[in-house]
Amino acid sequence: MSSKHSSLISLLLVAGVHVGVLAAVVMSTSDPVPVDIIQPTIQGVIVMAEPEAAPPPPEPPPPPPPEKKPEPKPKPKPKPVPKAPPSERAVKAPEPEPAPPPPPVEKPAEPKPAAPAPVLPPRADAGQISNPAPAYPSLSRRLREEGLVVLEILILTDGSVGEIKLKASSGFKRLDDAAINAVKRWRYQPATQGGKAIDFWYEQPLEFNLH
């Protein structure tokens, strides 16, 4: 029974809804309400067209080919002019005599450089008190040692001996040393050049002989 009542109620509700709708439609047809119609407005935006790109400049025409210059025509060679025959009356003028050459200019004689003054070598008088002969070593006497010693010595301007070099040995050291020790104490007359004393390298021989 409850299901029947509920279905009946639902039918009544549906019928009532339809009746309400029909009443609303009738009311709208009998008294129409004016409706304002709104025209839509159209707004537009003017879009500027992009400028067309300028066309590329026309390519310059190719240069004309160079004109060939006409080759110059060879000039005609001048014809040789015939020489006129010599006139019998023409007289050849005498040629002028050449002028004599100027006399040579004598150059003044250049002064010759003065020759250096001669050098007078030093002198030594062996055997004197100032220059005694070298002592003969006693061992060299017993061994019969003999020989010639040659010394190269530098004689200074005051006559003294500055430096001694052994130029030639006697073959025995004892004899060489005896000659050097003796000459160290010798005095010489110095070498001179133009009257002025100078240093001079001098060779001094000393002989050791037992005869």
3-state secondary structure of 9: helix
* The pLDDT value given to residue 152: 96
**Domains, the chain:** 119-208 (3.30.2420.10)
Q: Indicate the average pLDDT of the chain.
A: 76
Give the pLDDT band of residue 211 (cuts 50, 70, 90). Answer: confident
CB 119 within 8 A of CB 195: no
CB 174 within 8 A of CB 139: yes
Give the pLDDT band of residue 123 (cuts 50, 70, 90). Answer: confident
Picking from 211, 208, 204, the residue whose alpha carbon sits closest to that of residue 137 is 208
The string of pLDDT tens digits covering residues 162-176 is 999 999 999 999 999
The string of pLDDT tens digits covering residues 39-78 is 545 454 554 555 566 666 667 667 666 666 667 676 767 6
